[in-house]
A and B are shown apart, each in its own frame.
Chain A
């Protein structure tokens, strides 16, 4: 199975974690990104994720290969949901196994940061009041927004 993958249905964390099992590994670290009920002062009701899957998988695989190379971890996986998600649902999962905990933690952090920064995935928030907006897109479109000057890779 690919090290970076999309799912239209709920992620099975136990199954993903099992793929990382290795007798040579003494450390496992995972990150779960959940759908939160608020963002930048807005009450969020649900989210919609969309991806340019062909390129996203390619870029995701490059990130995971870079993490393995850079931190020397044994195994790493990332699974991301697409489609409609409710509050509290698991949107993204990253798991890493390694000989020791330090590289597992660092590789896990590296992967989620890079995925958020450069993989072509988009998130539309639907608010309690009925409005909606594409995260990181509506503000740059606002009149007077300084073009290109603000960070899209802002950590959320």
Chain B
């Protein structure tokens, strides 16, 4: 990657962006809502979760969660983009 490309990529990920977060199960109860629209400077889901955990009494640590962006499993390090729909997935218990 050229220096200028690195600069622009970094810039686009840290500028504030509007996105939505949906909550399920224990996270839904602890956040007191099913979803919300917010504006964040968090570059990736990792920082976004930390930001939300400072606001809500979340007891689950990122180590036990998975993350989904726009309806598909994603990585904690995936850059967030404006308009993304983010879901933090607590340990599952189907069946």
Contact = CB atoms under 8 A, between A and B. Distances in A.
A106 interface: no
Nearest to B85: A54
A92 B24 contact: no
B10 interface: no
A140 B91 contact: yes
How many A residues touch the partner, as a band?
Answer: 35 or more
- Name A's interface SS: mixed
Given A137-B60, A141-B60, A52 B93 contact: no
Contact of A124 (B25, B60, B63, B94): B25
21 contacts: A50-B25, A51-B24, A52-B22, A55-B73, A56-B94, A115-B94, A116-B92, A116-B94, A119-B94, A120-B24, A120-B89, A121-B93, A121-B94, A123-B93, A134-B26, A136-B90, A136-B92, A137-B25, A137-B93, A148-B61, A152-B92
Interface of B: 22, 24-26, 28, 59-61, 63-64, 68, 71-73, 87, 89-95
